[in-house]
């Protein structure tokens, strides 16, 4: 379990333990107890930092993957396998699905492909 910013973890542990500082200075809390509490706060803050780092990394990976797919599709001019809405892209010249009869694909390869694209975009799948 790693964290990207360990200095923030230490700062969080110091912040969590800061209410204990007057007790340590007055002698109400022993140094050993204060160090044990700081170690506990450091462990808890490290685990919290690792969880936050994990969530942020997963989100960033998902966004990066989506951007790469869009860039690849833009450069090649071919569909990336999924439309922007997440529905599978239909192949040009194939029948568009249950909304279009088989005669729609016989109207021509280009017209059938554009009808399929319009239909999949018009269904509102998000």
What average pLDDT is seen over the chain? 75
Q: DSSP state, 80?
A: -
pLDDT per position as a tens digit, 62-104:
888 888 888 888 888 766 555 555 555 554 554 544 554 444 4
pTM of the predicted model as reported, rounded to 2 decimal places: 0.51
Cα torsion at 64, 65, 66, 69 (round to 10°)? 120
DSSP secondary structure string for all residues of 8-50: HHHHHHHHHHGGGHHHHHHTSS-HHHHHHHHHHHHHHHHHHHH
Domain ranges for the chain, please list them: 1-78, 81-126
């Amino acid at each position: 379990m790693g964290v990207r910013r360990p200095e923030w973890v230490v700062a969080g542990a110091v912040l969590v333990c800061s209410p204990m500082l007057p007790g340590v200075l007055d002698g109400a809390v022993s140094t050993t107890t204060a160090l044990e509490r700081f170690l506990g706060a450091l462990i808890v803050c490290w685990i919290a930092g690792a969880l936050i780092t994990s969530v942020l990394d997963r989100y960033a990976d998902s966004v990066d993957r989506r951007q790469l797919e869009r860039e690849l599709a833009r450069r090649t001019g071919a569909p990336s396998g999924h439309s922007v809405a997440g529905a599978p892209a239909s192949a040009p010249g194939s029948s568009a699905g249950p909304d279009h009869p088989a005669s729609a694909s016989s109207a021509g390869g280009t017209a059938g492909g554009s009808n399929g694209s319009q239909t999949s975009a018009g269904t509102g799948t998000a």
